[in-house]
Structure formats: C-alpha cells, structure tokens
Amino acid sequence: MKNREFFKGVPFAHRGLHDNKTIPENSMAAFKNAVEHGYGIEFDVYLTDEGTLIVHHDPSLKRSCGADIHPEKIKNADLEKYRLFGTDEKIPLLKDVLSFIDGRVKLIIEIKVTKKYEKTCTAVFEALKDYKGEYCLESFDPRAVLYMQNERPDLLVGQLYDPNPIQRIYCHRMKTHEKAAFLAASVKTLKTRFYEKTQAKDPSVAIVTWTIRTPAQLALARSKADNFIFESNIKDDSYIPMPPVK
C-alpha cells in the first residue's frame, strides 16, 4: 500500500490555488495561495529549447499570455515580457517553484507531451535531485512514463489516463498502466470498473482523479479515488468552494 500512502490526506490544487481572476493558474501567486491554505499542488512542466524548465500547461501561450508560441520555443530573454492572463504574474521557472515550496506541501508534477520527453524527464530528475519535499511525477505520454519507470524506479511515477480512446490504446500497448505506481484518472472515466479491477489486481496502485469542479464530482471522487485534484472558480457558482484540507 506504499504508493497509496502518498495520496492520503489533503487534496491537490489544480495548477495551484488560482481563482481565474486575480490569481492565474500555474503562477507563483497560485502556488503561494495553495501553500498558505495547506493544499498539495499539481502543476505542469515544459523544457524549452534553451534547456530551461518552465511551469505552464497549454501547448501555446495564446490563452495564457496572448502569444501564439509553443512553450518549448520560449527564449530565456523573452520570459520577462510574458504575463499570465492580464496580471503581473510571469511564467515561473521550475527551480523557483521548488525553491519557494521547499517541501511544505506535496507535489504532483506533470511532464507535458513533447518529442523531447527523454530530455525533459532527465532535466526534471536533475532539478529534483536535492529537493527534500514529497512529490510524484506523471504524464499523459506513455513513452515518458515508461522512460521514468525504467530510469528511476525509486520514484513515484503515474500514468495520466484520459477518456480519449487513442491515448488509452497507447497506454495499454506499452503496459504503462500496469507498471504505474498510480493512475491519474479523469473524473469522466471514474465510474468505470477499470479502476476497481486495477486495484483488485494490485492493491498498491493509487487512484487520483482530476479535475474536480462540482459537488457531484467531489462526491464521486471521495467514494472512488484515493485523492483528487480540484479547481475552484470565483466566477462560477457551479464550482465547489475550496474543500477542507483534512
């Protein structure tokens, strides 16, 4: 049950504890807010062409910064000019995020899907080598998951599991879902018996579900998963308020 122990306790804030208004997702402000409220944090990592690990979700900066450029193509010299969602917040560097969090809360770090998955994973390993806090790694890309499993069997590595049937086919073809310490399950697939069968076969496999936004999803997550990744939104009354940390 070792793998499931990591997920016991407080839920994880999706891309930090942001409010979709003044505190943008995947920002230092969102991470600070999550730490102050005692939540774990889930965030996303890309490796730029210059070898810099940055924290960002989308495969373009268009939604977040108004610039149609892939995160991998960002130059270090240009990082200062990009601002997140019309705020003063900048795209964080992974090293700065780790330095700030400093082991105070648990982390779920997603390796984004790119052709340079091996370089990204290796760079993340290096960035985390002296980090003293608790963390796990995950990816939608089964190639990245398999690489991490083979290169660092000592780490807690999970397979993100998507409703997209093509993604599931690749996972099953490479058997990463069978080797993973945990499955990060979309709440859209959580009602299927796949996860119950997985844990019946190997009780050590943890199930963490994403992204919980509504009361119905929250109830489902608490009944079916070891933990969950949630998102609040002060602009939308249908979203859950921040769940209790205990």
Sequence-distant contacts of 56-61: CB under 8 A, at least 24 apart = 56/26, 56/91, 57/15, 57/25, 57/26, 57/112, 59/112, 61/91
Q: How far is CA 188 from CA 55, 184, 205, 228, in A?
A: 25, 12, 19, 13
Q: How many angstroms separate the CA atoms of 51 and 145, rounded?
A: 20
Catalytic residue, chosen from 18, 37, 56, 57, is: 57
Catalytic residue, chosen from 14, 18, 56, 177, is: 14
Q: How many angstroms separate the CA atoms of 7 and 84, rounded?
A: 30
* DSSP code at position 61: B
Active site residue 14: yes
With tokens 């730029």, the residue in question is 48
Both tokens assigned to 75 = 């130059």
Both tokens assigned to 165 = 């049937």
Burial class (CB in 10 A: 0-12, 13-18, 19+), 207: buried
- The catalytic residue positions are 14, 57
